[in-house]
Amino acid sequence: MERPAGELIVRVASPGDIDEAVAINDDACEIFAQAGVHFDIGPEHPYARAERARWTEAARDGNALLAEAPGAGTVGLLVMGRVGGLAYLEQLSVRRRAMRRGIGRHLLLRAIAWASGEALWLTTYAHVPWNRPYYERAGFGVVPDASCPPAISALLDQERRHLPDPAQRVAMRRDADRANAGPR
């Protein structure tokens, strides 16, 4: 795929699109093996089922988006929601064949705009070379566990119980006053 993000069609996902959303995420997660992170969670695992339920709810609320590139199909996923009343970037995934084309940046800017005037939270891996630094360039900073609000702490606890490399999971926040900063 050689189309730039400017030719993307971004649309609201419906609950019927969740299988496609999961497929995009599964494909994107294959790259984590390069960093030694191996996801061995099948679709019936409690964490996978809970994630699917959150994505379905986000789709019902209009907060799950799919990016389509002409001639390449659906290549990106963005899921946003609220955790304890806080704006939260639930998932940002791009199919491997479409990575490094600005699609992730385009979707991240959509999430930042969605948070509009309030801090935006996310959780990610600190040690994966393309995760934490990418979000830091977009104005996010790691928040120490002791400074996380209870809902974000609970989310981190759940991820650390079920995902590989639990000690590497961190919360990040992009403050609302960074409104003019975007991913570089």
Q: What is the pLDDT of residues 117-169, one digit of tens each?
A: 899 999 999 988 888 999 999 999 999 999 999 999 999 999 999 988 889 89
Alpha-carbon dihedral sign for residues 105, 107, 110, 112: negative
Domain residues of the chain, as ranges?
5-178
**What residue ranges of the chain have pLDDT lower than 50?**
1-4, 179-184
Q: Which two tokens stand for residue 19?
A: 């299988």
The reported pTM is: 0.89
Q: What angle do CA 47, 48, 53 make, to 5 degrees?
A: 95
> In the CATH scheme, what architecture does the domain 5-178 have?
3-Layer(aba) Sandwich (3.40)
User: 100-129: b or e for each residue (b if 16 or more CB lie within 10 Å)?
Assistant: ebbbbbbbbbbbbebbeeebbbbbbbeebe
